[in-house]
């Protein structure tokens, strides 16, 4: 079984700074999630609970998932408190209990939560596919959002995997399988 991990697609995360191609990213993630559900694969929506840093705290409007990515009845919603979606969330145990061996990673913020989760999934011996047109971020000092996205798409593509692989694929390629 496969799992699509959708990170931080929350009102506050995408409004902090204008995220690159947000409409396109949201549309592609939504379509990909529908395809995963059709195939009987798992969709996991990971929400950041920023209560500790007073950013997107649990129960706030900023902490809510964006309307376009409402969880389906069989979807999991996981709450995290740090960048890594696996850290003290039970996500690893849940995925293993369901027989998930490959995770597909998408979401917001490329250089923070998406990167941390990709790296963590690798150290847990998952096969990792980064959906290279389904993650986004905002401009940062000295780097545009496009530069950040391009850099991480390159970096993840050359990581040395632990037990499996790291693949970089577009949403359309994955949906066509």
Catalytic residue set? 113
In this structure, the number of other CB atoms found within 10 A of the CB of residue 150 comes to 14
Alpha carbon distance, N-terminus to C-terminus of the chain:
14
Count the Cβ atoms, other than its own, within 10 Å of residue 55: 15
Q: How many residues does the chain have?
A: 177
Tokens of 39: 């195939």
CA 27 to chain centre: 14
């Amino acid at each position: 079984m496969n799992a699509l991990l959708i990170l931080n697609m929350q009102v506050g995360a995408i409004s902090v700074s204008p995220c690159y191609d947000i409409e396109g990213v949201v549309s592609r993630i939504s379509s990909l999630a529908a395809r995963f559900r059709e195939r009987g694969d798992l969709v996991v929506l990971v929400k950041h609970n920023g209560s500790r840093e007073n950013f997107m705290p649990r129960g706030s409007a900023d902490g809510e998932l964006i309307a376009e990515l409402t969880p389906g009845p069989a979807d999991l919603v996981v709450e995290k408190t740090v960048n890594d979606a696996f850290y003290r969330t039970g996500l690893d145990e849940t995925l293993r209990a369901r027989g998930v061996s490959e995770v597909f990673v998408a979401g917001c913020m490329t250089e923070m939560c998406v990167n941390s989760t990709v790296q963590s999934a690798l150290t847990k011996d998952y096969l990792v596919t980064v959906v290279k047109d389904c993650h986004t971020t905002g401009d940062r000092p000295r780097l545009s959002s496009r530069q950040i996205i391009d850099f991480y798409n390159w970096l993840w593509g050359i990581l040395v995997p632990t037990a499996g692989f790291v693949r970089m694929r577009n949403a359309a390629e994955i949906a066509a399988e």
